[in-house]
Every structure is written in structure tokens, then in C-alpha cells.
Structure 1
Amino acid sequence: MTKGVAVVTGASSGIGRASAVRLAADGYDVVLAARRVDKLEQIAAECGGRAVGCDVTSAEDVAALARAAGGDVSLLVNNAGGAFGLEPVECAELDKWRAMYETNVVGTVAVTKALLPALRAGSGGTIITITSIAADAAYEKGAGYCGVKAAERYASDALRLELNGEPIRVCDIAPGMVKSEGFSLVRFDGDQAKADAVYEGVQEPLTEEDVAECVSWVAGLPQHVNIDRLTVKPVAQAASFKVHRGPLA
């Protein structure tokens, strides 16, 4: 007996990988979705899940993911996305802004839309979207990422209102600083020095497994309990723009 089918997007690394592994340990039949099929298949083999190659910006891929997930899905974890670039508005690289919007917002909505019939099929479904504390307030050089994460959050909030009266929970998990595999490296186009500088001096930033623990907790609550938003930050971080670097007194 399993807890049902759980679909995790962006599952080839980072928070998605950690969440898929944790949910498999919790007893879900996990469908791991991501573009990097080679890594995905390795993780799926390790945790006993099913790998489905999927670019969330591709309508064909999203439709194939829905077919692979089947007609009854208990849990959807919308995690695919990321930050591309960190520059002032006057220097904005608009192609990166468009790519962020397509993956974080349009991709999340596309997957959610495609899987809603399967989420409705059982006695109750859960949709968890991994947003960010970047959606809480703007910070310098972060306008693009803050904007798309806010849009993703509002899509989740609107969906919760629209599904009111149905047994489907809609939850937003908003992590702060996570020392996650590849996140900052992608943001800085592979510049390892810039990626490392993000975490320099910070005592114990969050790990991918910390966020996966939150996903597991939210999903495991009784079906009548909905966590609208769960904000989780390391102790060293007070806000997206205020991080203590050095020993904690």
C-alpha cells in the first residue's frame, strides 16, 4: 500500500531531488520530472520512483507527464524553476526575465492545469508550490526573480480561492537561503566564485533536505488541514535582503 502518486517537478537536483527522495521514503509512488533524464533516472532508481523527462515550458512534455502520472494523483510538488541573473533593472537581461517567467510561472501553471483532473480523482489532493521569500519584498538586483516568484505565489493563492469547496489543498512553501545544488551556479552562468560568495560566512544556511522535510510535513498533515504558506529561513537570515555573516552570538 502506498500513499498514492506524488509528482515532483525539477526533481533532477536540489530541493526537487531531496523532496522526491523523502516522499518515496514516506511511502508515495513518486513520479520524478525534469529535463536532465540521465540524472533523473539515476535518482529514480535509487529511491524506487519513476523518471519522466519533462520540460515544463513544453506543452507536449507536460501532456506526456500527465499521462505518465495516471488518472489519480495524490500530491503535486511544483518545484521546477530557478533564478537567472542578478543585475539592476537598468541592466536587465530581458531574455533571462522571460525564461524565468516561462519556467517559474507559466510552467507551474501548465503542470498544475494538466494534473488537476487526476488530483480531483481521489478523496483529496494536495498541491505544494515551492516559491521563495523573494516573493515577500524586492531586493536590489533581484527585480526579475522577485517578480516571477511573486507571480507564482499569486497564482497559487488564486487557485486556492478557485478550488474552495473541493477537497484539494493548495500550499506555498517559501524557503530563504538554501545552499542547494546548482541554484546559485545557474544564476551566475556557471561562475563558481560568485556562487560561493552567496553563502560566504553564513552559519548553516538551509539544506535541500530541510525544505524536503517541510514538504513531507505539509503533505502528511490530515487532509482537512491546509498550510496556506510556510516560510522557512536559516537563523542567520532575517529577510531576503538581511543576512548575518559570521558567528552567531
Structure 2
Amino acid sequence: MSKRADYRTISLNGLWNNNPALVQLLGLCPLLGVSNSVVNALGLGIATIFVLTGSNIAVSLIRTQASEAIRLPAFVMIIASLTTCVELLMQAFTYELYQILGIFIPLIVTNCAILGRAEAYAAKNPVLPSAVDGFMMGTGFALVLLLLGGLRELIGKGTLFSGMELLLGPGAAHWELVVFADYQKFLFAILPPGAFVIMGFIIAGKNLVDAHLKARQAATPKPTPALEDAEAP
């Protein structure tokens, strides 16, 4: 397999085939806890991408030096250090959003998706593939966060991109899109139980798409060896 094909497989695994949120069902606590708006989902998604990519790189760099006895503590220390960096950056530049996300930023340390990729992939592969794996897995997680946050904000409040200035500054204050005017808020969608239900529909939708693609691939006729020989010059 060529390097390009290998990176394509890594990317497809992170974004779709082995998505940490839709397939592995990891990191559901922050996924369901703070995804009640697009800005919250985007803030946590960016933080997760940073920690996941950085931890994969660091773990790959020390993979031959760390013995079995210290592997897990070393991985946790790396993830905790990167999470602390994210926490301090958010306190400095997006303090109001940091207060809203609250405990879910420090809880990135315990996200099973991050520790799982460090152990399953980064500890066994070179730096560049590990960095790509971490970035694509983090991006796949962040995209699910954004989709869930957008749906919950739309159904629950009738708006999109509300409060984007908390993450992107005053210039994004006018980004709010009122989809339904005079909308009576649907509280269930904003609360965690609504997140469970909407997430279930998202996973069901992915499974339907996978089943359709599999059926379509099975229905595609494959050329027989005899026909290939007849067509050969």
C-alpha cells in the first residue's frame, strides 16, 4: 500500500469508518454534555483536536523509549499536560466560553478516545502517520460535535451560531442566524436527554448510509476473469 493510500485510509477511518463518536462511541460524556450550541461544540472540538494530535505526536516520539511499566502513566501525563495548555489558553483568550464549558475542559484528560489512540496507534507507528491519525480522529469527533450542537441549537432555540463572539471575538457577534422567528424554545433538545435522542438519530443515519453503500457495492457487477482475458490486447 502506498503512503498516499495509507493516509487516505487513516483519514477515512477518523472521519467515517472508525469515527470515535459514531462507531467507537467514545467521549460521549463531553459530547452530550456541552453540545447544546454550535459555539460550545466548536470550542470543545478545537480543544480535542489539539490534545489528540499533540498527544499522538508526543507518544510516537517516545514509543521506543517508554517501557511497559511506565507507558500508561507517561501517556496520561502527556495528555494532562496538553489539556492544561488548552485550559490556560482558553482562560486567557476565551474566558467566558471556558466558564460555560466548565469541568468538561479538564475532563479531556479522561477522554477514552485520546488515550485509546495513543495506545492503539501512536505507540506503534511513526510520527507523521500518528499526527495524521490524531488530527483526523479529532476532526471526526469535532464534526459530530458540531452536527449535534447545530441540531440541538436549531431544535431547542430556533437559531444557529448564537454566541460565536465567545470564541471568535466581537467580530462574530452578528453571525447569529434566526431560523425560526418567534420560536417557542423546545427545552428537551437543549437538555442532556435530548442529546441522547438526537445522537441516536445521527448514529442511525450513519448506519443507514453504510448499509446503502454496502448494498450498492454488492449489487455492482464484477468483471469475470474470462471477460478480462477476452478484453486484453
TM-score by length of 1: 0.24
Higher strand share: 1
Higher relative contact order (CA 8 A, sep 6+): 2
Q: Which has the larger radius of gyration?
A: 2
Higher helix share: 2
